[in-house]
Amino acid sequence: MANGSDLYNATQASVISNKTAEILRTTVLILMLLIFCFFLFFVLVLLGLFFTTHHIREESRYILFAHMLVNDTLSLVTTLVQFTAAIYQIYLPTLICWTMILFSKISFLVTPNNLAIMALERYIAICHPLRHTEICTRQRTNVAVLVLWVVALIPVAVEFIVMSYLIGKGALSINSACSWTTPETSQAQSTIRMLTDGLSFSLVGIIVFYTYVKVVLVARKMVSDKSSASRAGRTVLLHGFQLLLSMSSFTLTLTETYLSYVPFIRLASLFAFIFLPRIISPFVYGVKEAVFRVLVNRRGRMLNKRQHTEQNKGT
């Protein structure tokens, strides 16, 4: 009788635990969707301003910022799909699953490199102002964005080829449970990933640090337009903060390795170290830019004026 009672209690505890896990997963998913909807509205407003304002569309820094918005938005969409498929055990074709994982990896590598180019653009604007319009043209910025994706694609393509060779082509034709992390099939794949991530983030960190120091030194020497140089220094410093947000995703690996025994650690890590940094980074930069604030206020006043005009015509 005691054994039967213990078994019943264990079963009940398991049911309650499963229900709690289900409620928590659903709550996190709803929260992520709500935050993403707000972020998407924010992105659409800024991209609308970018594509409808000529002088903004021609400036390198805003082209790179628009690229950041598009990259982060697509990455968030992919993350949400992967997260939903993972928590509800939705089986997808392996090829589709891998495509999302590989895109997430490429996007992950593009993000810090984009910050490095944005920091270099501010460095040229302050330290070499006479050559800024010559170097930072719209065409060269678009080429730089294309190069970013090619550079990020190469190591990810090599990793994909190694993984495909080891597991066989037949695996691509079956359905599998999708995840938001890249499956590791060999030490070579893990080494490629570690070297790529380490080299990319180290190089970007050096560039951001160097450009910040140079901009600050120039700002101290300047007599006129010192405020512009100070703003550029703060912008580069913000890029350093954005880089740290990007690097927070490495914490996911540490928590899954050393804190895997903690309940719902993967769920919390995904939300805190993958999802939120993608939201915070472009949001902070967009709010900081005075140009966008002025344009948003101007558009808001125009809409209010139009509404008042229509109301007066109606009466």
Residue 293 within a domain: yes
Residue 9 within a domain: no
Ordered alpha helix ranges (H), the chain = 2-52, 54-57, 60-87, 94-127, 129-135, 138-167, 187-221, 226-247, 250-258, 265-269, 276-288, 290-314
- In which region does residue 179 sit, left (phi positive, over 0), alpha (psi from -120 to 50) or beta (all else)? beta
Task: State both tokens at 297.
Answer: 């206020």
The residues, any chain, with a CB within 8 Å of residue 214's CB and separated by 6 or more, are 123, 126, 127
CATH of the domain at 142: 1.20.1070.10
Per-residue pLDDT of the chain (315 residues; tens, 9 = 90+): 445 544 434 444 444 467 787 888 889 899 999 999 999 999 999 999 899 888 889 999 999 999 999 999 999 999 899 888 888 888 888 888 888 888 988 998 999 999 999 999 999 988 888 899 999 999 999 999 999 999 999 988 887 887 777 766 666 667 777 765 655 556 666 777 778 888 888 899 899 999 988 888 887 776 565 676 677 778 888 888 888 888 777 676 666 666 666 667 778 888 888 889 999 989 888 888 878 877 777 776 776 666 666 666 665
Quick one: DSSP state of residue 88?
Answer: T
Residue appearing with tokens 């990020």: 152
Judged on CB neighbours under 10 Å (0-12, 13-18, 19+), 230 is middle
Max CA distance (Å), the chain: 89
Quick one: DSSP state of residue 172?
Answer: G
pLDDT at 224: 60
Single out the residue of 209, 237, 218 nearest to residue 129, CA to CA: 218
pLDDT at 68: 95
- Please give the mean pLDDT across all residues of the chain: 81
pLDDT at 181: 60
Residue 5 within a domain: no
Residue 14 within a domain: no
Residue 235 within a domain: yes
The number of distinct structural domains making up the chain is 1
Single pTM value for the model: 0.84
pLDDT at 144: 96
Residue 253 within a domain: yes
Residue 114 within a domain: yes
Q: In terms of residue numbers, what domain contains 147?
A: 24-308
Task: State both tokens at 156.
Answer: 């990810």
Q: Render pLDDT for 58-93 as a digit per residue (tens, 0 to 9).
A: 999 999 999 999 999 999 999 899 888 888 888 888
| Distances 94 to 5, 143, 162, 175 between C-alpha atoms, Å | 44, 33, 16, 5
Residue 186 within a domain: yes
Q: Over the range 1-20, which residues count as b (16 or more CB within 10 Å of their CB) and which as e?
A: eeeeeeeeeeeeeeeeeeee
The residues, any chain, with a CB within 8 Å of residue 128's CB and separated by 6 or more, are 135
